[in-house]
Amino acid sequence: MVSSILMLLALLGPMEQGPRELTVPDESQIKPPLVVSEGTVIPVSLINEISTKNAESGNGIYAQTIFPVTVNNEIVIPVDSYVRGRIVNATRPGRVSGRAELTINFHTIILPNGLTLPIFGSLGGVGGVAERKGEATVTGDSSKGEDVTTVAQTAGMGAIIGAIGGGGKGVAIGAGAGAAAGVAQVLLSRGDDLTLPRGTTIEVVLDRPLEP
């Protein structure tokens, strides 16, 4: 019996005694986390069109990145990452004055590997189709120039009609009537809505660091 046990121990080989050594990685070989710093610009392209004509607060906004963002020569936000946001406010232009306005906010980025991260950012440039106002709002063009043209055109037509009908006095009456008609037309019509077409380039500027 004893010989059998000794033979078994011989087959198993010598047993290690004492605690095993733990290998601790060299700190110099541990890579620090890649952090996209505050102020980094993330260029995106709109997937869906947005217009003050039909936009409402809470509507979704969808875009994709069009240029990679790198940190320490490594790509951390690849091209075609999805960016999601929402419309905070949409204001149509007034009938007398005022411009169309869109206040938008991007809040989530989804990397191609599926990693979903919250982002906090403000607006940079908006593709040359709108003027930025504050950190999250863009405005459309003013329609004042068009309003003046409308009044002038209707006044001119009235003057021509008046001249045909009543000479110099008719010119004055016709011009006045035409101007009045032009003012009425301006008062009854809105200015131009602000539209950001599909493909519009928007710069999202990070207000807080992002760690993918």
pLDDT in tens, 19-60: 555 565 555 556 678 899 999 999 999 999 999 999 999 999
In terms of Cα–Cα distance, which of 10, 8, 82 is closest to 47?
Answer: 82
For the segment 67-76, what is each residue's pLDDT rounded down to a tens digit?
Answer: 999 999 999 9
The amino acid at 2: V
Contact 18, 65 (CB under 8 A): no
Q: What is the pLDDT of residue 90?
A: 95
Q: Which two tokens stand for residue 1?
A: 């019996």
Contact 143, 92 (CB under 8 A): no
Mean pLDDT score across all residues of the chain: 77
For the segment 110-134, what is each residue's pLDDT rounded down to a tens digit?
Answer: 999 999 999 999 998 888 777 888 8
Mean pLDDT in residue range 66-93: 96
More confidently predicted of 11 and 193: 193
Quote the CA–CA distance of 99 and 14 in Å, as a whole number: 87
Quote the CA–CA distance of 129 and 199 in Å, as a whole number: 11
Any idea where the domains of the chain sit in the sequence? 34-141+192-206, 144-190
Q: Does domain 34-141+192-206 have CATH number 2.40.128.260?
A: yes
